[in-house]
Every structure is written in structure tokens, then in C-alpha cells.
Structure 1
Amino acid sequence: MRDLVIDSHQHFWKYNSEKHSWIDDEMAIIRKDFLPEELKTVYQENKVDGCVAVQADQTLQETDFLINLASENSFIKGVVGWVDFRADDIDEVLEHYSQFPVVKGFRHVVQVEADHNFLLRPNFLKGISKLEKYGYTYDILVFPHQLGAVLEFVKKFPNIKFVIDHIAKPYIKDGFYDGWAVLMIEIGKCPNVYCKISGMITEADYKTWDYNQLEPYMQLVLNAFGANRVMFGSDWPVCLVAGNYARVKEIITTFISKLSTQEQAAIMGNNTANFYNL
């Protein structure tokens, strides 16, 4: 029997030009609805057993939308929703979501915040501190210039499990590596921080990327976090801008083929199951 393959990172949406304004002209191919029925077929074709659905809009309605989809589709094993951690009623909001076991954690789109130190704002930190009480995880979505703040941030909460989305979006297209690598190594020393190997092909040139260009980034992440704190993620449907599901999965399976079968199983599903308590 093969080990379970769990996609640690994908999105659903009913396309709305205002809500999804981040989908620019270069990404026009994903200006449409993406719902579980379509992904289910993709998963059957690619031997993927389940997924974690991650927020793509910063509203409580988005969190409720994902909970609803999960209740109707058993392959959605967990939900990473959105809440406003700066809100005065954050405790009540988290208390409310604790009645839905499928909600595993939360995310804020920090990459769009103009303040490099957004994660370190007192009101945000106060909200994040409440996660421990409920056993929730937190997905860190940032650009490389925000990694200094990430390092300070994760050190403040040694009992909360964090995961860095999309290897912190290094500018692969421009060959940006060294500054990103130094900070990722430091962050990897924190045992409560994991990393998703996802979202790489959309940080490279959509049309001309190749495996050799991505490998050094994956190798650094593996060295920094180890095989037990790295997870496979597709970033479907965003990945369709620069490839397809099969290619994204193949990048990871090719890269980890040199590892032991146990380590491969960890990266392709077991780490995600453990991290999110699926």
C-alpha cells in the first residue's frame, strides 16, 4: 500500500474581479471559478489523497466558505482560514471557529503589507498569542525582505507551530538567493517552524523556468528545515499560470527521489498530516 499524498497548499474561489484583483493580466488564465469538483479530478489523475485548503481572501466569509466546502468534500482534510488578529474580539472569533474541527489554522496576507515589520506590531502579536490556547497553526506568507521580521516573530512563540508558505517567495526569476538563504537558514533553526515547498514556478519566469533553476532553492530549504519539517504543496490553481499540476508534483518527487522512502513519505504527506493534525 502506498503512503498517503497530501497537498499542503491549494485554494478555491468563485472568481470576483474586485476580490481577486491580485490576479493580474499575466495571470488571466486563472480568472475563473476553481472549486472542489475540478480539483478532485486533478487529484485522481495525480494520485493525491487529500489537501489543506488555504484562504485567498481576507474575510471571515472566506473562512466560512472553506469550512462549507470541506463539509461537502471529504478530500479537504483541513482549512487554513483568515481572521483579523488585530481585532479586539479575536478571542471570541477563535472560540467560534474552534467548534469546527476542520479549521486547523489561519493566515494573513502579510506580503502585501507595506510595513516590513507588520508581523511585529503589538496588536498583531497580541492576536497571534491566542493561537496556542486553541492549538491552531499559523501560515506565514511573506516576501524575502520580510524574513528579518519573521525570524523575530517565530522566536516570540516557541509553542505555536508555524509554516512558511512558498519558501518565502524568493525572486527566482531575478536569481535572488543569498539574502533569502541566510535568513531561511536562521529561521530553520527554530524547531516549531516548517516550510512548504510550493509556489516556486510562479516566482520564476512563467514561460522559461526549468528544474535546474529551482533545485538550489529546494536544496537550501531541505538543508535548513530537514526532511521532517518540509511539505509538498501545489499552490493550485495559481500554479496553472506557469505549468500544470503534474509538473509541479514532479518537481518535488524528482528532487526528493534521492531521499529514503520514509523521508519521501514525510514530505509528500506525513509532515502535513502531523503539522495540521489532520
Structure 2
Amino acid sequence: MQIIDAHQHFWIFDAEQDSWITPDKKNIRRDFLPNELLAILTENKIDRCIAVQSRQNEGDNFFLLECAEDNPFIKGIVGWVDLCSEQVELHLKKYAQFPLIKGFRHVLEAEKDPAFMLNPRFLKGIALLNQYGFTYDLLIRPEHLKFALQLVEQFPEQRFVIDHMAKPRIKDKEITQWHHDINLLAKHNNVSCKISGLVTEADWHNWTLQDLEPYLDIVFSTFGKHRVMYGSDWPVCNLAGGYDLFFNAINIYTAKFPIGNQELFWGANAVAFYKLNEDN
């Protein structure tokens, strides 16, 4: 069975550019580069990965491309582009020349306006993605789900994926409204969901699989076997126990599924969504 980590990050730490990595997150306030991840992937028998942007500038795209050129286990990149720019199509044409760039993401959760994704200029950018074959990762929180629904309804041909299950408030055991809203999004077949980033929404030091299970049950049942994929959110997962702890918990959870469903979740769905191939 092929296993793909569909969501992880690399960075050379810079306190100004990485201001979200506050002093209380001291164990990720350093560089994280491919050689460190490769050792972890090898230990866990994980074959490939998707590198996702962590900075909202195009320099980060080229940094990730350099990482991938030297490390063939990186099979795809989710970069960043200013979708509100009047020059966005020129940028998309430029990135279409790089087969490793599979799609883009914006840190929507950090925007002051929770409806930022419905800004007409942003929508014009989203409208161009599909013609160049690009996916879009939605980095949002529960309060953004109602706006994300309005977004995806406008673009039924665009491939969207929700990062980190929209960060449900697991630590506070809040589930009802998140369940309602994510269920509405799951009704759209062009929307997939990453099982990633959950442990940092739980109690960092005391979470258990039992804390995650109610949320996992909802996503696996609503999105179905073809629209869920695994992502570690490394190195951010180090805040809550590290790579192995989350990977092993998800292994235990998915062991109850038929082998075909497991193969889809652990690799085949990511291959299909990001259109990965061995030629990259």
C-alpha cells in the first residue's frame, strides 16, 4: 500500500516572517528541512509527501521547488499566489510551467474579515485556477465554514480540499455547529478533506485517540471513501506529541476499514486529487 503524507511544511525559521510561531511554540522555532522529514517518513514506511506553503510570498514557492528538486520524495507543492492581484493570470501561467506546483493556499484563517474568501477580487482569482489545473487548499476554522460553502457553490468544477478538517475545537469538545456546517460542504463532490492538524486543536499534552474519534467519524462518514486523505501537518504536529503519535493514532483508527478504503485514504485519494505522477 502506497502511503502519502499530503500535508507538511518546510521552513528556515525567521522570527519576522514566521511571526505565527510565537515563543510559546518553542519546539518549532527552528529550521525544518527535507532531510529531517525523510528520516521520519522512512521510519514510518511513508513513500511520498506534499509540501505546503507556510509563508504568503512567492519566494516560498521557489524555496519549496528547490527542496523538491533535491529530494524526489516530495511529489507536489501547494504554494501561494496573490489571487486578488490584477496580474494573477500571468502568475498562474508562470507556475503552470512547474509540474510540481499542484495548487495554492492562502491563510484565510488569519484574515480579519471572515468573509475574505468572498471578496470579488479573490473570487476572480479562484475562477482562473481550474483552467490551469490547480487545486485550492482551504485553511479555515469553524467560523469560516459558512463562507466556504458559498465559495465552493460558485465553482463546481474547481477541486477544493479542507485543511485540518477546518480545525474543530476538539479541546473544548465543540462539535454540533461544526458538524452541521462541514456536512453541508461535504455534499459538494468537488470538496475533499485532509485528516491533518487535529492534535494541535486538542489538548497538546493530554490528547487521546478517543478525543479525536467523534470528529473523525463525522468526516469519514460525510465525505466518503474517495474524498479523505492523510496529512501529518509536520512539523506543527510537534507541538502536540510529534509525528509518530498522530500517525499511529490514525493507523489504529483506520484499521477497521476495508483494505480498499485504507488504500484510498493513505495514498490513492491524494494521487487523484493532486494528480501526482512518477514523472515529476
- TM-score class, shorter-chain normalisation, is over 0.9
- SS of the residue corresponding to residue 202 of structure 1 reads helix
Q: What SS does structure 1 have at the residue aligned with 2:199?
A: coil
- Residue in structure 1 matched with residue 171 of structure 2 by the alignment: 173
How many Å apart are 1:253 and its aligned residue? Answer: 1.3
Work out whether 1:220 is the aligned partner of 2:218.
yes
- In the aligned structure 1, how far is the partner of 2:86 from the partner of 2:275? 28
Residues in 2 aligned to 1:258 and 1:155: alpha-carbon distance in whole angstroms: 33
- Segments of structure 1 that go 5 or more residues without pairing to the other structure are none
Partners in 1 of 2:252 and 2:129 — Cα distance?
36
Tell me the amino acid that sits aligned with residue 218 of structure 1: L
Residue 113 of structure 1: CA displacement? Answer: 0.5
Does residue 60 in structure 1 map to residue 58 in structure 2? yes
Matches within 5 A, 1:13-162: 13-162=11-160
Q: Which moved more, 1:107-116 or 1:246-255?
A: 246-255
- Per-residue CA deviation, residues 176-222 of structure 1 (Å, 9 max, x unaligned), is 11111101111000000000000010001111111101000000000
2: distance between equivalents of 1:245 and 1:213? 17
- Give the CA deviation at 1:134: 0.5
Is 67-76 or 190-199 further displaced after alignment? 67-76
In structure 2, how many angstroms separate the alpha carbons of the residues matched to 1:50 and 1:244?
A: 18
Deviations along 1:86-107, one digit per CA (max 9) or x if unpaired, are 0000000000001000000000
Match of 1:252 in 2: 250
Task: Indicate the residue corresponding to 2:183 in structure 1.
Answer: 185
Distance 1:26 1:205 in 2: 14
1:44-84 Cα offsets, whole Å, 9 max, x none, are: 11110010000000000011111111111100000000000
CA offsets per residue over residues 198-252 of structure 1, 9 Å max, x none?
0010001111111101000000000110111000000000000101211111121
Letter in 1 for 2:79: G
Matches of 2:21 and 2:104, distance apart in 1: 22
1:152 & 1:77 partners in 2: Cα distance?
31
The amino acid across from 1:47 in the alignment is K
Q: 1:273 aligns with which of 262, 271, 274?
A: 271
Q: Please identify runs of 4+ aligned residues in structure 1 that moved more than 2 A.
A: none
SS in 2 for 1:175: coil
For 1:273 and 1:243, the matched residues in 2 are separated by 28
TM-score in terms of structure 2 length: 0.98
Query: Offset of 1:25 from its aligned partner?
Result: 2.5
Give 1:120's aligned amino acid.
Answer: L
Q: Structure 2: any 5+ residue segments left out of the alignment?
A: none
Provide the C-alpha distance between the structure 2 equivalents of 1:41 and 1:246, rounded to a whole number of angstroms: 12
- Partners of 1:262 and 1:276 in 2: CA distance: 20
RMSD of the TM alignment (CA)?
A: 0.7
Instruction: Provide the rounded CA distance (Å) in 1 between the counterparts of 2:76 and 2:202.
Output: 28
Equivalent residue in structure 2 for 1:236, among 234, 243, 265: 234
Instruction: Please give the TM-score of this superposition, normalised by the length of structure 1.
Output: 0.98
Letter in 2 for 1:214: L
Deviation readout 1:10-37 (Å, 9 max, x if unpaired) = 0000000011111122211000000001
The whole-number CA distance in structure 1 between the counterparts of 2:205 and 2:22 is 16
